[in-house]
Amino acid sequence: MKQSPCVLVIGAGMVGTCCALYLQQAGHHVTLVDSGQPGSGASYGNAATFATYGCIPVNHPKLLSELPALMSGADQPLSISLPYVPRMLPWLIRFLCHCKRERVDHTIRALASLLAHAEDASLPLFRAAGAMDLIKRNGTMYLYSSEKALAAAKEDIERRRQHGVAITDLKAEQALELEPALAPVFAGGILYNDGFHLHDPQQMVSRLAKRFVADGGQLMQGEVKMIEALTSNRLNVRTQETDLQAQHVVIAAGAWSTQIASPLIEPLPLDTERGYHVMFPQDATLLTRPVGMADAGLYLSPLADGLRAAGTVELAGLHRPQNPRRLDYIERCVRRALPQAGQRGDTWLGFRPTLPDSLPVIGRSTRHSSLIYAFGHHHIGLTLGGITGRLVQQIIDDEAPVIDLTPYRPQRFND
């Protein structure tokens, strides 16, 4: 019988919870620790799309020419907080260096190879958690506000097709036939035919965590402060309350992953692309599927508790409070697309974990082989949780991984 070493997973977001489940299924004794409730970080307030088409990164050749406009105001899909620029300059320079065509193509290939396994790796977990009722499969629409924006997107749409994504082109009137509540303010767009979304992403993570506990996993609340080596194959994890020992530790703490103190964590250039949501609680029935307002940088997603307008990118770190101008921008975009939208409800600020090449790190620490990284899933972590969990299990069990892990290895930042 296979030995069952202890694994401790830090972070019960979509990524950490899927890691815990895959490791548990492989026979490990797993503890999942989070400072809050499962799914209360970025996995809570996102746009809820299972974005298997999401292989095009934000740092893109076009970003360089658009940067001056983006620097000059909050009324843009991407905004940069000027006071934060000096702190994030090294990250920002690396992020912008990855706008070069050949680097972007590398990122697209590496994201596409994860995305190709996203459904196969996630759906069995969703099913085992009795959570298939949270899935609505009706495609995902992307609309562009002008002919110019649509034409500029053509190349990337083709790239997605080349990676096997099923896409139907939509004329403006076809989009309105599919979603009649939309105002005629779009030049056209596309339908990702196979796209689906979750009615309530936090509920999904919560059900996954319940399955994990029902199958004997240990879920703990606690903030991890420190990770230290005890021996060459044993680690000590210090929380505020207690010390926990494990043979393997997985860091899946999203945007906070490198905030944990440890000589075992090498310097990894993790920062955050902040994103927002604004709820319109009475308006979930206005749409039948998520509608991406592509050039506005946000989705309108019909969810269990209302219509959620979620997205945009703000580079301003982990500590600055919500920026009301970003929320007003989102509200204006919503009212333009859906003039009959009612009163605005709750708002939310979330922290996407992003490395400068827009690829996650999935691999062993170079400083201690018992420490495994699983973070940095930026705009598509809800989609990539399952495949990341499967890969982390394969790393820990020294099995051949389902895909080549080279693009995600932590050492790439020292190459």
What is the contact surface with ligand FAD in residues (CB under 6 A)?
Answer: 10-16, 33-36, 40-43, 46-49, 51, 223-224, 252-254, 256, 260, 275-277, 310-311, 350, 352-353, 375, 377-383
Per the structure block, which two tokens stand in for 15?
């990524």
Nearer to ligand FAD, 172 or 307 (CB): 307
Q: What's the 3-state SS for 50-116?
A: ECCCCCCCCCCHHHHHHHHHHHCCCCCCEEECHHHHHHHHHHHHHHHHCCCHHHHHHHHHHHHHHHC
Nearer to ligand FAD, 333 or 380 (CB): 380
Q: Give the distance from CA 109 to its chain's centroid.
A: 17
Nearer to ligand FAD, 172 or 365 (CB): 365
**Helices and strands of the chain, counted as H and E runs:** 11, 21
Per the structure block, which two tokens stand in for 211?
């399955």
Nearer to ligand FAD, 350 or 407 (CB): 350
Provide the minimum distance between the beta carbon of 26 and ligand FAD in the complex, in angstroms, as a whole number.
20
Q: Give the distance from CA 116 to its chain's centroid.
A: 16
Nearer to ligand FAD, 166 or 349 (CB): 349
Provide the minimum distance between the beta carbon of 385 and ligand FAD in the complex, in angstroms, as a whole number.
6
Provide the minimum distance between the beta carbon of 203 and ligand FAD in the complex, in angstroms, as a whole number.
14
Provide the minimum distance between the beta carbon of 304 and ligand FAD in the complex, in angstroms, as a whole number.
15
Max intra-chain CA distance, the chain: 65
Per the structure block, which two tokens stand in for 281?
């609680």
Q: Interior CA angle at 330 toward 305 and 166, to 5°?
A: 75
Provide the minimum distance between the beta carbon of 122 and ligand FAD in the complex, in angstroms, as a whole number.
10
Q: Interior CA angle at 283 toward 278 and 287, to 5°?
A: 100
- What whole-number distance in Å separates Cα of residue 365 and Cα of residue 367? 5
Q: Interior CA angle at 277 toward 179 and 153, to 5°?
A: 55
Provide the minimum distance between the beta carbon of 2 and ligand FAD in the complex, in angstroms, as a whole number.
27
Count of CA atoms in the C-beta half-sphere (13 A) of 410: 22
Q: Interior CA angle at 101 toward 363 and 407, to 5°?
A: 10
Per the structure block, which two tokens stand in for 97?
């260096």
Provide the minimum distance between the beta carbon of 351 and ligand FAD in the complex, in angstroms, as a whole number.
6
Nearer to ligand FAD, 172 or 291 (CB): 291
Nearer to ligand FAD, 172 or 256 (CB): 256
Nearer to ligand FAD, 7 or 172 (CB): 7
Count of CA atoms in the C-beta half-sphere (13 A) of 401: 21
Provide the minimum distance between the beta carbon of 381 and ligand FAD in the complex, in angstroms, as a whole number.
2
Provide the minimum distance between the beta carbon of 147 and ligand FAD in the complex, in angstroms, as a whole number.
26
Nearer to ligand FAD, 256 or 329 (CB): 256
